[in-house]
Amino acid sequence: MVEHMSEMQIDKRVARRIRHAYVLALSIIAIATISAFMVENEMMERFEGSSAALHVVGEQRTLSHRLVLFAADAVNAPNYTIEAMALNNLAQVKSAMVKEHESLLSRIRPEDGARGLGPEIDRVFFDAPYNLNPKFMRYMNRVDAFLASEGEAMKARYNAMYFEAIGPLGTALDVAVEQLEKDTMADVATMRTIRMAMAVVVMFALVGEWMFIFRPLARTVEQKTRALEEARNAVAHAASHDPLTDLPNRRMLEHVIDTMQSQAQRQGKPLTVCHVDLDRFKEVNDTLGHAVGDKVLQHAVTVLRNATRGSDFIARVGGDEFVIVDCTFGGYEGASVMGERIVERMARPFEIDGHVCRIGASIGIALCENHDDPDIEALMCRADLALYYAKERGRGQVQPYSEAAKASFEQRVARNAA
């Protein structure tokens, strides 16, 4: 009982450790997943912002060239109408550039405290040597001056616009495009790294679950299954065997004798049953006590096993009674030889706990030769009659079943009835 309680406590501790390890592994996976999601979401926002800014800067570069083209159209216009259309287009493009530039500035240095695009693009816009924002403002001033001029002054303003667009501003815009492309590629690489790190964390967590949760759990289940199987086998063995001698009991004998009858039929030999009863066992048991009596029975079983063959089936069917079943003797002669050997060896004196003990054995033999209609119960009765006849004739004998044994039994029954 104490050992069972100890095993239950060990099982509870193992189950508790497995449960804690399982929760820990799930927590690690959940934390890693949430962290990766948050970081990747932030990187995705940066990536989207860099991609949008890259598109805007590319558009700014295109619009700056269109301003120069419209300015050239205005300078070279053959009449006032075409000049007015070119100037109107130039003013619209300039308004679009200003609007997009303001959206860029809001992304680079957001006023709501949100994270900007990055320090590198910030330096491109506001720090030397590129100073994109001051160059843009200067370019817009040149565009305003061009729109306000006429005639030869317009041509002079056009030249200033042209060199500003293809020179300082164009260079700064190219640098901004390159920087935003680098930022975009860096964001993509970071997201890939996060995914790889997430995959590694999950893989390690799964390996850890296998190493520290599922493998111990499988081992525990296997051990418990083996223990249950052993317990079931032990119960089945106890139900079919004598606890003192570990011989099959009467219940198992009833199952086995039918199988051996079929085996005897296949071999074409009679099924032989030898009923063995120990002589003078009751005197030893009553005189020396049950503890010595139990050891005498164990000694008798040792004698039976040594005097028979491995193919012989031996069962304990009573306090000092045993049954030997075999299908290879071939008749009474072979069974009698084995029976005489048992009687001779059982009669030898032996010592138990300092006491010299003497017992003997009487054996009755019966055969089942009718394989077409076997009557196992009648066979066992005939072996009993032969055993009683052997005891009547002085014990320590081997008697096959005969009409004399049957007649002796009937006479005894008649005397008892009278």
Listed residues 154, 178, 209: the one ending a domain: 209
Asked if residue 285 and residue 191 are part of one domain, the reply reads no
Examine the domain organization and report whether 322 and 375 are in the same domain. yes
Q: What is the pLDDT of residue 2?
A: 46
CB 273 within 8 A of CB 365: yes
CA atoms of 289 and 282, how far apart (whole Å): 10
Q: Is residue 223 in a domain?
A: no
Strand partners, 360: 279
Tokens (6 digits) for 396: 């320590």
Where residue 101 falls among pLDDT bands split at 50, 70, 90? confident
For residue 1, the model assigns a pLDDT of 44
Q: 45 versus 228: which is more confidently predicted?
A: 228
Q: Is the same domain home to 167 and 275?
A: no
Q: Report yes or no on 22 lying in a domain.
A: yes
Tokens 């009991």, located at residue: 249
Instruction: Report how far residue 40's alpha carbon sits from residue 381's, in angstroms, rounded to the nearest whole number.
Output: 89
Q: Do 271 and 193 fall within a single domain?
A: no
Q: Indicate left, alpha or beta for 18 from its phi (over 0: left) and psi (-120 to 50: alpha).
A: alpha
The number of folded domains in the chain is 2
In the predicted model, is pLDDT for residue 45 greater than 80? no
More confidently predicted of 343 and 186? 343
261 and 348 housed in the same domain: yes
Does the pLDDT value for residue 103 go beyond 80? yes
CA torsion sign, 281 to 282 to 286 to 291? positive
* pLDDT value for 369: 72
Residues 6+ apart with CB under 8 A from 44: 187, 191
Residues near 386 by beta carbon (within 8 Å), at least 6 away in sequence: 275, 364, 365, 366, 399, 400, 401, 402, 405
Same-domain pairing of 196 and 272? no
Does 5 score more than 60 pLDDT? no
Residue pLDDT, tens place only, 247-257 = 999 999 988 98
Q: Is residue 360 a contact partner of residue 279, using CB atoms and an 8 Å limit?
A: yes
User: 351 versus 264: which is more confidently predicted?
Assistant: 351
How confident is residue 209, by pLDDT bands cut at 50, 70 and 90?
confident
Which range, of 125-134, 205-214, 284-293, averages the lowest pLDDT?
205-214
pLDDT score, position 14: 66
Q: Rounded to 5 degrees, what are φ and ψ at 355?
A: -110, 135
pLDDT digits (tens, 9 = 90+) for 279-323: 999 999 999 999 999 999 999 999 999 999 888 899 999 889 999
Tell me: the pLDDT tens digits for 136-192?
A: 888 888 888 888 888 778 888 888 777 777 678 778 878 878 887 887 788 778 878
10 Å CB burial of residue 157 (0-12, 13-18, 19+) is buried
- Same structural domain for residues 197 and 255? no
* Three-class DSSP labels, the chain: CHHHHHHHHHHHHHHHHHHHHHHHHHHHHHHHHHHHHHHHHHHHHHHHHHHHHHHHHHHHHHHHHHHHHHHHHHHCCCCHHHHHHHHHHHHHHHHHHHHHHHHHHHHHCCCCCCCCCCHHHHHHHHCCCCCHHHHHHHHHHHHHHHHHCCHHHHHHHHHHHHHHHHCHHHHHHHHHHHHHHHHHHHHHHHHHHHHHHHHHHHHHHHHHHHHHHHHHHHHHHHHHHHHHHHHHHHHHHHHHECCCCCCECHHHHHHHHHHHHHHHHHHCCCEEEEEEEEECHHHHHHHHCHHHHHHHHHHHHHHHHHHCCCCCEEEECCCCEEEEEECCCCCHHHHHHHHHHHHHHHCCCEEECCEEECCEEEEEEEEECCCCCCCHHHHHHHHHHHHHHHHHCCCCCEEECCHHHHHHHHHHHHHHHC
Judge whether residue 413 has pLDDT over 50: yes
CATH number, domain of 258, equals: 3.30.70.270
Structure tokens at 81: 């109408």
Same domain for 202 and 279, yes or no, is no
Q: Which of 122, 223, 97, 110 is nearest to 175 (CA)?
A: 122
168 assigned to some structural domain: yes
Average pLDDT, the chain: 83
Q: Which of 209, 237, 262 is the last residue of a domain?
A: 209
Q: How confident is the model at residue 373 (pLDDT cuts 50, 70, 90)?
A: low
Q: What is the predicted pLDDT for the residue at 3?
A: 53
For residue 176, tell me if it sits in a domain: yes
The stretch 43-67 carries a mean pLDDT of 78
Residue 76: CB atoms within 10 A of its CB come to 12
Kindly tell me if the per-residue pLDDT of 112 is higher than 60: yes
| Structural domain range at position 200 | 2-209
119 preceded by a cis bond (ω within 30 of 0): no
Inside any domain, residue 147: yes
Q: Is residue 66 part of a domain?
A: yes
Q: Quick one: 258 and 188 in the same domain?
A: no
